[in-house]
């Protein structure tokens, strides 16, 4: 029996993982991923063929935006039918935003798209890049009964594979930089690579891939804090051409009951601008109406983000606004899980 050699496409958009130190100058410079097996010879032990594509100009994660999300989606779509799995290397600071956005753009995805990166450059003595990259490629190349083990967008970092749109960056210094507070890991890497069968999305090959690349950028995050000023809130909610608001509330979705605050939110919602309620807490869920301080949000028609992360809420709101969904349907669509991003 002839075993099929799987094709994995490695896409480098930018970020720390793709940098190496010039030991003559101590400056960091971009790494040539065409030479990846020379730098990481362990990759030759993987039973797959690795191809590489790099953005012409590496994008720092702080500069990542929908324009580059679409560029990344174009690459994946172009190679989708001849590649068995994708590994995307990008900067960690906005990785959860980017990976979440890609998850929404690809409907009926049935191949692995695994995001990873590192806290230290690939050429650093103590780098975490090698393990993250090797295991991400191994995961992308894992199949069972001729089908990919992973059929969704994942994020692999420091021995754990997460559903990408459930992740948030929790540390700027520790190798364990990401967490998925409200959904268990899809896989864990130790002596063995163990998949959490109950958490995995079922791979379906019968539906045709649909890629949607329209995003709306005119949204704002309004984070509440004690003593927030009326004029600040008013200024934010009256930004010209505003099309969406993510409201970061307290606890289980609670917000001030001041008359001025309620009126300002009502004015926004009356203009058919969706307002999404997400919690400031690292874990847990918005439960609108559970406390008196969120009943008024329910009455106003504020959208419950449930247990969605802020990063995923940003990507989902931009994505849905780009689809021009009628305002009378928007709340119901947002509150429904599209790619496993909410429970």
Distance (Å) of CA 9 to CA 140, 185, 212: 9, 23, 21
Distance (Å) of CA 155 to CA 60, 236, 324: 18, 33, 29
C-alpha 55 chain-centroid distance? 19
d(CA 224, CA 297) in angstroms, rounded, equals 14
d(CA 161, CA 134) in angstroms, rounded, equals 13
Q: Please state the three-class secondary structure of 132-191 as a single string.
A: HHHHHHHHHCCEECCEECCCCEEEEECCEEEEHHHCEECCCCCCCCEECCCCCCCEEECC
Q: What is the DSSP string of 243-304?
A: -EEEEEEBTTTB----HHHHHHHHHHHHTT--EEEEESSSS----TTSSHHHHHHHHHTPEE
The answer to whether 13 is a known catalytic residue is no
DSSP single-letter state for residue 84: S
d(CA 160, CA 202) in angstroms, rounded, equals 19
Structure tokens at 59: 């994008």
Q: What are the backbone angles phi and psi of residue 197, rounded to the nearest 5°?
A: -55, -40
Single out the catalytic residue among 3, 13, 16, 57.
16
Catalytic amino acids? 16
């Amino acid at each position: 029996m002839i075993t099929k050699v799987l094709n994995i496409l490695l896409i480098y958009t930018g970020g720390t993982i793709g940098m190496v130190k010039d030991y003559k100058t101590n400056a960091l410079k971009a790494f040539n991923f065409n030479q990846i097996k020379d730098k990481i010879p362990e990759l030759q032990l993987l039973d797959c063929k690795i191809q590489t594509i790099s953005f012409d100009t590496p994008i720092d994660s702080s500069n990542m935006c929908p324009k580059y999300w679409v560029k990344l989606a174009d690459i994946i779509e172009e190679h989708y039918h001849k590649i068995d799995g994708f590994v995307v290397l990008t900067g960690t600071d906005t990785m959860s935003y980017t990976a979440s956005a890609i998850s929404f753009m690809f409907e009926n995805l049935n191949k692995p798209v695994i995001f990873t990166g590192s806290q230290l450059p690939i050429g650093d003595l103590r780098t975490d890049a090698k393990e993250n990259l090797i295991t991400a490629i191994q995961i992308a190349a894992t199949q069972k009964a001729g089908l990919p083990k992973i059929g969704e967008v994942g994020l692999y970092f420091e021995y754990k594979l997460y559903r990408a749109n459930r992740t948030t960056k929790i540390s700027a210094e520790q190798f364990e930089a990401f967490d998925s507070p409200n959904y268990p890991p899809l896989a864990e890497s130790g002596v063995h690579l163990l998949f959490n069968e109950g958490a995995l999305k079922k791979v379906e090959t019968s539906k045709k891939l649909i890629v949607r690349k329209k995003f709306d950028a005119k949204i704002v995050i309004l984070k509440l804090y004690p003593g927030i000023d009326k004029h600040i809130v008013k200024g934010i909610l009256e930004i010209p051409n505003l099309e969406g608001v993510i409201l970061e509330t307290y606890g289980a979705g609670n917000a001030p009951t001041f008359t001025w605050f309620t009126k300002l939110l009502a004015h926004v919602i009356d203009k058919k601008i969706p307002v999404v309620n997400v919690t400031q807490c690292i874990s847990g869920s918005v439960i609108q109406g559970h406390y008196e301080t969120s009943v008024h949000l329910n009455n106003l028609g504020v959208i419950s983000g449930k247990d969605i992360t802020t990063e995923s809420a940003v990507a989902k709101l931009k994505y849905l606004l780009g689809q021009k969904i009628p305002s009378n349907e928007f709340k119901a669509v947002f509150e429904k899980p599209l790619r496993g991003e909410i429970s």
